[in-house]
């Protein structure tokens, strides 16, 4: 029989061998611990999780109804075609007692009306304070409120570990507020393809349609992330859900609280590429990790810090960088002002560089919406400033006018223009700035000959007037 003294020695040796951070995380030691409940955490956080209802008016367009003979033959009245209310459902999290709610952009995109329903069934109209499409996060403010609301505190998502227990709270399928539990399945997922910042928490806590914008909370009841997407072939949960880390959410909420209409983030001023196994072999690396610098913008923070083409970024402020997506996320969550220390490998030597944390210059953007009768009607376009190039992942020296948004139902959207298209010329006239494009669209023309760049490829289009 094993003596009590031996067990005590073994227990002490185990404590010595296990890091302090892991001592706080342990498996249940007895059947009694398995009967423990998450109810106290849920009761504390549930009032801060809300339901978000968005509605927009869309006009049903049947091309047959444009034909007067069809309308007369079938007795269909002329005039405007019937409108329909299109609704979407999601979740949100109260992050400020004054009534600020964070949710996903895709929950409220294009909405004419947004309502927020609290856990006590009260409903409030809400206004959109800020939309950050790059992170798929939006901040709402409840209207006409005169009380303080319960909120969730932010966790430090960099401290999360694979295997940590988490709870997902939201309104799946509109059945009402629901709580599911699971673990963090993976961290720093960078190949998901949902937002510009590819750095997600993966969880097996059941997430379904309607959970978008809801809370992923840790065992202290703090907000670890905002649930945003699922991987599914059936439309339901298959145990693979993704959440935006709380450290990114914190940046967007801070911008909204400061009164900003857009999120200001640090600008590196360099293009990065992934390290392939072939590149790793060329550089003499054991693993294909890091972010390789492929170009540097003149007079950018990167150039002033001394970053050069072919430098390999391996860490930022002591945090390991595995690929360009990881760097983009880490850099974007740094506060403006001061500098970030990056570790670089250059010609086999390790060096440290201090990169100033500055936002990209946005002078000369001259953003306009084109309204004249033309193929561009309904397109929002801008000159390519460093800030625009950074937002749309364009080379800073790209010339032309870029499409940054398209109105639903506008001619530009109908003919197939896409966000990020760069208009180079129209009817053989070079387009260098937005005023050039606005001027050429005022000219009535039967045919439009358009040259544009999409994904680095030149496309020539001819459209009837």
- The pLDDT assigned to 15 comes to 43
End position of a domain, from candidates 356, 391, 422 = 356
- Domain CATH for 432: 2.30.42.10
pLDDT category, 1, cuts 50, 70, 90? very low
293 and 379 housed in the same domain: no
Task: Report yes or no: 376 and 417 within 8 Å, Cβ to Cβ.
Answer: yes
Tell me the C-alpha distance between 289 and 343, whole Å: 13
Task: Choose the catalytic residue: 117, 135, 157, 212.
Answer: 212
For residues 152 and 230, the model is more confident at: 152
- Domain CATH for 106: 2.40.10.120
119 and 135 housed in the same domain: yes
336 and 384 housed in the same domain: no
Q: Does 61 qualify as catalytic in the annotation?
A: no
Lowest pLDDT segment from 186-195, 269-278, 301-310, 375-384: 186-195
121 and 223 housed in the same domain: yes
289 and 431 housed in the same domain: no
Confirm whether 333 is domain-assigned: yes
**In terms of residue numbers, what domain contains 319?**
270-356
Can you spell out the DSSP letters for 127-196?
Answer: EEEEEETTTTEEEEEESS--S-----PBP-GGG--TT-EEEEEE-GGGS--EEEEEEEEEEEE----SSS
pLDDT in tens, 207-228: 777 778 889 999 999 999 998 8
Q: Does 443 qualify as catalytic in the annotation?
A: no
Confirm whether 224 is domain-assigned: yes
Confirm whether 4 is domain-assigned: no
77 and 199 housed in the same domain: yes
Q: Hey, what's the torsion of the CAs at 398, 270, 309, 453, to 10 degrees?
A: -30
pLDDT category, 422, cuts 50, 70, 90? very high
End position of a domain, from candidates 264, 291, 320 = 264
Q: Does 212 qualify as catalytic in the annotation?
A: yes
pLDDT at 177 over 90: no
Counted domains in the chain: 3
280 and 381 housed in the same domain: no
pLDDT at 61 over 80: no
Task: Report yes or no: 90 and 212 within 8 Å, Cβ to Cβ.
Answer: yes
- The pLDDT assigned to 12 comes to 39
275 and 313 housed in the same domain: yes
**pLDDT above 90 coverage of the chain, percent:** 32
Tell me the C-alpha distance between 122 and 299, whole Å: 53
Can you spell out the DSSP letters for 86-125?
Answer: EEEEEEEEEEETTTEEEEEHHHHTT-SEEEEE-TTS-EEE
pLDDT in tens, 346-388: 988 999 999 999 998 888 888 889 888 888 989 999 988 888 8
Task: Choose the catalytic residue: 106, 135, 204, 343.
Answer: 106
Pair of tokens at residue 99: 């009534």
Confirm whether 12 is domain-assigned: no
135 and 257 housed in the same domain: yes
251 and 306 housed in the same domain: no
pLDDT category, 410, cuts 50, 70, 90? confident
352 class by beta-carbon count within 10 Å (0-12 exposed, 13-18 middle, 19+ buried) = exposed
238 and 171 housed in the same domain: yes
Report for 39-48, 186-195, 445-454: range of highest mean pLDDT? 39-48
pLDDT at 82 over 60: no
pLDDT in tens, 99-123: 999 999 988 887 888 999 898 889 9
- The pLDDT assigned to 77 comes to 56
Dihedral sign, CA of 125, 129, 132, 135? negative
Average pLDDT over residues 273-283: 88
Task: Choose the catalytic residue: 136, 311, 343, 436.
Answer: 136
Confirm whether 16 is domain-assigned: no
CA distances from 9 to 23, 318, 369, 462 (A): 17, 36, 74, 82
Three-state secondary structure call for residue 14: helix
């Amino acid at each position: 029989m094993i003596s009590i003294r031996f067990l005590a020695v073994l227990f002490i040796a185990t404590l010595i061998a296990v890091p302090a951070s892991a001592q706080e995380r342990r498996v249940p030691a007895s059947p009694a611990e398995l009967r423990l409940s998450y109810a106290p955490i849920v009761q504390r956080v549930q009032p801060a999780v809300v339901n978000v209802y968005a509605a927009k008016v869309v006009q049903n367009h049947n091309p047959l109804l444009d034909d007067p003979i069809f309308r007369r033959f079938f007795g269909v009245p002329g005039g405007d075609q019937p409108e329909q209310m299109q609704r979407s459902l999601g979740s949100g999290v109260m992050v400020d007692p004054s009534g600020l709610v964070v949710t996903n952009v895709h929950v409220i995109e294009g909405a004419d009306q947004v309502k927020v329903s609290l856990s006590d069934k009260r409903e409030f109209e809400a206004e959109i304070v800020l939309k950050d499409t790059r992170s798929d996060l939006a901040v709402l403010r409840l209207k006409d409120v005169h009380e303080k609301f319960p909120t969730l505190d932010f966790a430090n998502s960099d401290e999360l570990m694979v295997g940590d227990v988490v709870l997902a709270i939201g309104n799946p399928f509109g059945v009402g507020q629901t709580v599911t539990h699971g673990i963090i399945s993976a961290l720093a997922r960078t190949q998901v393809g949902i937002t510009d910042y590819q750095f997600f928490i993966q969880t097996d806590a059941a997430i379904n349609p309607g959970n978008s914008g809801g809370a992923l909370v840790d065992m202290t009841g703090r907000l670890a992330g905002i649930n945003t997407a699922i991987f599914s072939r059936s439309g339901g949960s298959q145990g693979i859900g993704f959440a935006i880390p709380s450290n990114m959410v914190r940046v967007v909420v801070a911008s909204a609280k400061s009164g900003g209409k857009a999120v200001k983030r640090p600008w590196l001023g360099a293009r990065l590429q992934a390290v392939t196994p072939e590149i790793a072999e060329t550089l003499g690396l054991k693993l294909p990790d890091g972010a390789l610098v492929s170009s540097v913008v003149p007079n950018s923070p990167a150039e002033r810090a001394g970053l050069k083409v072919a430098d390999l970024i391996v860490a930022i402020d002591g945090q390991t960088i595995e690929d360009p997506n990881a760097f983009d996320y880490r850099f974007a969550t740094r506060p403006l002002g001061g500098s970030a220390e990056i570790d670089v490998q250059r010609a086999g030597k390790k060096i440290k560089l201090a990169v100033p944390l500055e936002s990209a210059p946005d002078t000369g953007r001259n953003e306009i919406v084109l309204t004249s009768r033309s193929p561009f009607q309904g397109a929002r376009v801008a000159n390519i400033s460093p800030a625009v190039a950074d937002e749309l992942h364009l080379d800073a020296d790209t010339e032309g006018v870029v499409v940054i948004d398209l109105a639903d139902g506008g001619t530009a959207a109908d003919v197939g223009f896409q966000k990020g298209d760069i208009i180079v010329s129209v009817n053989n006239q070079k387009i260098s700035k937005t005023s050039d494009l606005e001027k050429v669209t005022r000219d009535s023309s039967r045919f439009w000959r358009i040259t544009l760049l999409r994904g680095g490829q030149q496309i020539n289009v001819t459209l009837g007037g």
